[in-house]
Amino acid sequence: GNYWRQAVFYKLLFDRQRDKTKELRSIKFLFIEPNDKEEFDVKKIHVTPEHEETVEKQITETWDKIQAHDFYKGCGKPDCYWCNFVKDHKLYTAMHEVEQEETLQIMG
Protein backbone atom coordinates (compact mmCIF):
# COMPACT_ATOMS: atom_id res chain seq x y z
CA GLY A 1 0.00 0.00 0.00
CA ASN A 2 0.88 3.64 0.22
CA TYR A 3 2.67 3.32 3.56
CA TRP A 4 4.90 0.62 2.14
CA ARG A 5 5.96 2.82 -0.79
CA GLN A 6 6.43 5.81 1.53
CA ALA A 7 8.63 3.72 3.85
CA VAL A 8 10.77 2.50 0.97
CA PHE A 9 11.11 6.08 -0.32
CA TYR A 10 12.28 7.24 3.13
CA LYS A 11 14.82 4.39 3.14
CA LEU A 12 16.13 5.47 -0.26
CA LEU A 13 16.51 9.04 1.01
CA PHE A 14 18.17 7.85 4.21
CA ASP A 15 20.70 5.75 2.30
CA ARG A 16 21.73 8.77 0.23
CA GLN A 17 22.61 11.00 3.17
CA ARG A 18 26.22 11.87 3.90
CA ASP A 19 26.40 10.17 7.30
CA LYS A 20 26.95 6.49 6.48
CA THR A 21 27.47 5.39 10.10
CA LYS A 22 23.88 4.26 10.59
CA GLU A 23 21.84 1.61 8.81
CA LEU A 24 18.08 1.70 8.44
CA ARG A 25 16.36 -1.69 8.28
CA SER A 26 12.76 -0.87 9.10
CA ILE A 27 10.46 2.10 9.49
CA LYS A 28 7.63 2.60 11.97
CA PHE A 29 4.59 4.73 11.30
CA LEU A 30 3.00 5.99 14.53
CA PHE A 31 -0.54 7.16 13.89
CA ILE A 32 -1.79 10.13 15.90
CA GLU A 33 -5.50 9.46 15.44
CA PRO A 34 -7.07 6.53 17.29
CA ASN A 35 -8.53 3.58 15.43
CA ASP A 36 -12.02 2.12 16.00
CA LYS A 37 -10.84 0.57 19.28
CA GLU A 38 -9.58 3.98 20.48
CA GLU A 39 -5.98 2.72 20.19
CA PHE A 40 -3.11 4.29 18.31
CA ASP A 41 -1.82 2.10 15.49
CA VAL A 42 1.85 1.42 14.89
CA LYS A 43 2.86 -0.03 11.52
CA LYS A 44 6.38 -1.42 11.15
CA ILE A 45 7.65 -1.97 7.64
CA HIS A 46 10.81 -3.92 6.83
CA VAL A 47 12.44 -2.71 3.63
CA THR A 48 14.26 -5.23 1.44
CA PRO A 49 16.59 -4.65 -1.52
CA GLU A 50 13.79 -5.94 -3.78
CA HIS A 51 11.46 -3.27 -2.39
CA GLU A 52 14.08 -0.61 -3.06
CA GLU A 53 14.54 -1.86 -6.62
CA THR A 54 10.78 -1.73 -7.25
CA VAL A 55 10.38 1.82 -5.94
CA GLU A 56 13.51 3.06 -7.72
CA LYS A 57 12.01 1.70 -10.96
CA GLN A 58 8.69 3.44 -10.21
CA ILE A 59 10.52 6.71 -9.52
CA THR A 60 12.46 6.45 -12.79
CA GLU A 61 9.33 5.60 -14.80
CA THR A 62 7.42 8.48 -13.20
CA TRP A 63 10.27 10.93 -13.85
CA ASP A 64 10.48 9.82 -17.49
CA LYS A 65 6.72 10.34 -17.91
CA ILE A 66 6.91 13.80 -16.33
CA GLN A 67 9.73 14.78 -18.67
CA ALA A 68 7.71 13.49 -21.65
CA HIS A 69 4.55 15.31 -20.43
CA ASP A 70 2.84 11.90 -20.35
CA PHE A 71 0.15 12.50 -17.73
CA TYR A 72 -2.94 10.52 -16.80
CA LYS A 73 -5.68 11.49 -19.20
CA GLY A 74 -8.66 10.19 -17.25
CA CYS A 75 -10.93 7.24 -17.91
CA GLY A 76 -13.38 9.19 -20.08
CA LYS A 77 -16.50 7.79 -18.40
CA PRO A 78 -19.29 10.41 -18.19
CA ASP A 79 -20.06 9.58 -14.53
CA CYS A 80 -16.41 9.58 -13.36
CA TYR A 81 -16.00 11.91 -10.38
CA TRP A 82 -12.32 12.67 -11.14
CA CYS A 83 -12.81 13.35 -14.87
CA ASN A 84 -15.76 15.64 -14.14
CA PHE A 85 -13.85 17.45 -11.38
CA VAL A 86 -10.94 18.11 -13.74
CA LYS A 87 -13.28 19.22 -16.53
CA ASP A 88 -15.45 21.43 -14.29
CA HIS A 89 -12.41 23.20 -12.83
CA LYS A 90 -10.58 23.39 -16.16
CA LEU A 91 -7.57 21.51 -14.76
CA TYR A 92 -7.06 19.33 -17.81
CA THR A 93 -3.96 19.26 -19.95
CA ALA A 94 -4.76 16.50 -22.40
CA MET A 95 -7.89 14.65 -21.39
CA HIS A 96 -9.33 12.88 -24.41
CA GLU A 97 -12.93 13.54 -23.34
CA VAL A 98 -12.24 17.28 -23.14
CA GLU A 99 -10.71 17.24 -26.60
CA GLN A 100 -13.78 15.42 -27.90
CA GLU A 101 -16.11 17.88 -26.16
CA GLU A 102 -14.29 20.86 -27.66
CA THR A 103 -14.52 19.27 -31.11
CA LEU A 104 -18.27 18.81 -30.66
CA GLN A 105 -18.66 22.45 -29.57
CA ILE A 106 -16.77 23.67 -32.64
CA MET A 107 -18.88 21.49 -34.93
CA GLY A 108 -22.14 22.31 -33.14
Domain boundaries, position 79 = 71-108
pTM (predicted TM-score): 0.63
61 and 92 housed in the same domain: no
23 and 46 housed in the same domain: yes
59 and 85 housed in the same domain: no
More confident residue, 19 or 108: 19
- Give the pLDDT score at 92: 64
Long-range contacts of the stretch 42-51 (C-beta < 8 A, 24+): 43/3, 45/3, 45/4, 45/7, 45/8, 47/7, 47/8, 47/11, 51/4, 51/8, 51/11
57 and 12 housed in the same domain: yes
63 and 85 housed in the same domain: no
59 and 77 housed in the same domain: no
**Window from 48-52, 61-65, 98-102 with minimum mean pLDDT:** 98-102
52 and 90 housed in the same domain: no
